[in-house]
Amino acid sequence: MANNVTAELTQEEQHQRDLERLEKMRPIDDDFMRELFRNNIPLAQLVLRIMTGKDDLVITREETQYDLERLLGARSICLDVFATDAKGQIFNLEIQRSNKGATPKRARFHSSAIDVEFLKEKQEFDKLPTTYVIFVTENDVRKSNHPVYFFERKDTLTGESFGDDEYIIFVNGAYKNPDDDSDLAKLIHDFGCNKAEDMYFDLMAERTNYYKKTPKGVSHMCKIMEDMRNDEKMQEKIRTAVRMLADGTLTYEQIAKFTVLPVEKIEELATQLASITA
């Protein structure tokens, strides 16, 4: 009988796999992109200037994996890159490799969630900031072979802008036109590159080289991948525990033993499950 159990990789084998994975990573891979942009206002400013067409944009704040506050029971989101400029305008840059994740209603939700986050209690509605939600997609999800698609609300009869200062941009990561030497076309090219030496923009190339070629950068990326594996293992344990709790045939102690989770964690999950099913 064949053995269906997959042997665990040794630490050295796993490290080699991580190095091979790192070599293939591109800025359009969201895990790699977040590290490229982390604490990197110059790169964020360069990219946002090109994607919005605003050459005078001055970014004053930039964060990756920015968690938005959520209303009770509402879906929460974590923004890939969040930035504000000197005028108080807000920018959300998202990598969407899957077509399913790059839908108009998802972009609308991101925009709405930002509105809720940045209009405080009793503030007037005209205090809402100008917002740009930008999706960089691996495929041409709008299917018109344009490098960028720019959306804003307009009067369907007159074409006049609605004036709500809300903009949604889709950047087509699949765009290729050898005759297009614009900065936008070059930036799209760089997002799809896995080698720093093939990139047009120094800021993107230097950061890519750091995380792929320097010992400190490579070590950091390998730690990121290890953390992701550990998180996935933990999430699988939690999913298993929830299924066992829903079945209702095992005690908390038995579930803790099978999943190698603390009994306190099982009790916490049971409380959450009860609140959902109540």
Query: For the segment 119-137, what is each residue's pLDDT rounded down to a tens digit?
Result: 988 999 999 999 999 999 9
List, in sequence order, every residue forming a beta bridge with 61; answer none if it has no partner: 84
How much is the pLDDT for 6?
43
Q: What is the mean pLDDT of the chain?
A: 91
Give the per-residue pLDDT at 275. 77
Q: Which tops the pLDDT comparison, 205 or 270?
A: 205
Angle between helical axes of 11-24 and 202-213 (0-180°, round to 10): 170
Higher pLDDT among residues 123 and 1, named by residue:
123
Q: What is residue 76's predicted lDDT score, i.e. its pLDDT?
A: 80
Model pLDDT, residue 278? 61
Query: What 8-state DSSP symbol labels residue 99?
Result: G
pTM score, whole prediction: 0.81
Q: What's the CA gap between 40 and 210, in Å, rounded?
A: 13
Average pLDDT over residues 264-270: 91
For residue 84, give every residue at least 6 positions away whose Cβ sits within 8 Å of its Cβ, in sequence order, or none. Answer: 59, 60, 61, 90, 91, 129
Q: If residue 112 lies in a helix (H) or strand (E), which one and from where to where?
A: helix 104-118
Residues facing 176 on adjacent strands: none
83: Cα within 13 Å, side-chain hemisphere: 28
Segment 185-241, tens digit of pLDDT: 999 999 999 999 999 999 999 999 999 999 999 999 999 889 888 888 888 999 999
pLDDT at 240: 94
Report d(CA 57, CA 77) in Å as an integer. Answer: 26
Partners of 168 in beta bridges: 133, 151
Q: What pLDDT does 231 receive?
A: 83
User: Two tokens at 120?
Assistant: 């405080």
Can you read off the two tokens belonging to residue 16? 């080699």
Per-residue pLDDT tens digits for 66-103: 988 665 557 788 899 999 999 999 999 999 988 988 99
pLDDT band at 3 (very low <50, low <70, confident <90, very high): very low
Between 39 and 278, the more confident residue is 39
Whether 52 has a pLDDT exceeding 90, the answer reads yes
Residue 132: strand pairing partners? 91, 167
Q: What is the pLDDT of residues 57-76, one digit of tens each?
A: 999 999 998 988 665 557 78
Return the biggest CA–CA distance within the chain. 73
**Res. 5: pLDDT tops 70:** no
Whole-number Å distance between alpha carbons of 97 and 109 = 18
- pLDDT of 194: 96
Q: Across residues 49-64, what is the average pLDDT?
A: 96
154 band by pLDDT with thresholds 50, 70 and 90: very high
**What letter would DSSP give residue 157?**
T
pLDDT of 253 over the 90 cut: yes
Distance CA 169, CA 148 (A): 7
Query: Among residues 255, 229, 228, which one has the least CA distance to residue 242?
Result: 255
